[in-house]
Amino acid sequence: MEIVRTVEALRGWSRAIRMQDETVGLVPTMGALHAGHASLMRAAAEQCGHVAVTIFVNPTQFGPQEDFDRYPRTFEADCMLAEREGARVVFAPPVEEMYPAGAATFVDVEGLSGRLDGASRPGHFRGVATVVAKLLIAAEADRAYFGQKDAAQVAVLRRMVRDLRIGTELVVCPIVREADGLALSSRNVYLSTDERRQALALSRAVKRVEAMAAGGERRAALLTEAARQTLASEPAVRVDYAELVEWATLEPVEIATAGTLFAVAAWVGATRLIDNAVMG
């Protein structure tokens, strides 16, 4: 497995593969890789001839008070995991490679970028859309793999790819969870033992909404109220949002139908976690 640091090298690698009529799969990550990331790599390796994993902690998607500096960085272990999961290339550019001095171009998906995480993290989705646009332009991949874990991000990126007519197909993979239900996240390492236990309120809330909806309760107000009750049962948990929305637009719905997204974000102590499910 090769580690490349420049856009030019990544693009050259991808073009050489595609010239031979083989396919390239791209898995964008911020590193601190876990089984959730591994599942994206496995899907990419199954569906594409060659897989590139990107590891880039993108400064523009972090707010000034957020955890950019202390975000976990485990590059060597990440490379081992990527290699094990079949990646041919790890693209790990320095910040100046993705944001050359004086970079003034950003991608803003209007409307969607202000919803859910975008409402409580101003500028977050602008940073995400910008860096993913750069990665897709750099890699010229056939497919790029993202987790449903970040469901609002998926909505923003789907719209961006459609609006900008980017030729990469987005593939969305299911949420990978710990045995007890907690969605895997690079930020779970921030949790104390007690917070780790209380963090289960998020997946419990998601499960409760799924079960109520499956049982026929479709009123969003009642479903979200039940989720909030579950979240409120843990003292260290503070809800950011708990909403039923149309996945494509992130607009709230009054009645949940098949395909409606239930998404939740909550602070557990000082750590912000997210979880979601798509209603059946």
Q: Which of the residues are catalytic? A: 37
Position 239 contacts ligand AMP (CB under 6 A): no
Q: Which of residues 168-187 bind ligand AMP (CB under 6 A)?
A: 173, 175-176, 183-186
Cα distance between residue 178 and residue 11, in whole Å: 36
Position 78 contacts ligand AMP (CB under 6 A): no
Residue nearest to ligand AMP (CB): 147
Number of residues that bind ligand AMP (CB under 6 A): 17
Closest CA to 34 of 200, 192, 178, 191: 178
- The contact mask relative to ligand AMP for 212-231 (x = CB under 6 A, - = no) is --------------------
Strands 260-268 and 89-91 turn out to be unpaired
Q: Which of residues 133-162 bind ligand AMP (CB under 6 A)?
A: 146-147, 149-150
Q: Are 172 and 139 in contact (CB under 8 A)?
A: no
Position 203 contacts ligand AMP (CB under 6 A): no
Position 264 contacts ligand AMP (CB under 6 A): no
Q: What is the dihedral of CA 133, 135, 139, 142, to 10 degrees?
A: -60
CB of 176 or CB of 212, closer to ligand AMP: 176
Cα distance between residue 255 and residue 266, in whole Å: 23
Pick from 4, 7, 24, 30 the residue near ligand AMP by CB under 6 A.
Answer: 30
At residue 171's C-alpha, the angle toward residues 167 and 176, to 5°, is 155
CB of 183 to ligand AMP, least distance (A): 5
- Where along the sequence are the contacts to ligand AMP (CB under 6 A)? 29-30, 36-37, 39-40, 146-147, 149-150, 173, 175-176, 183-186
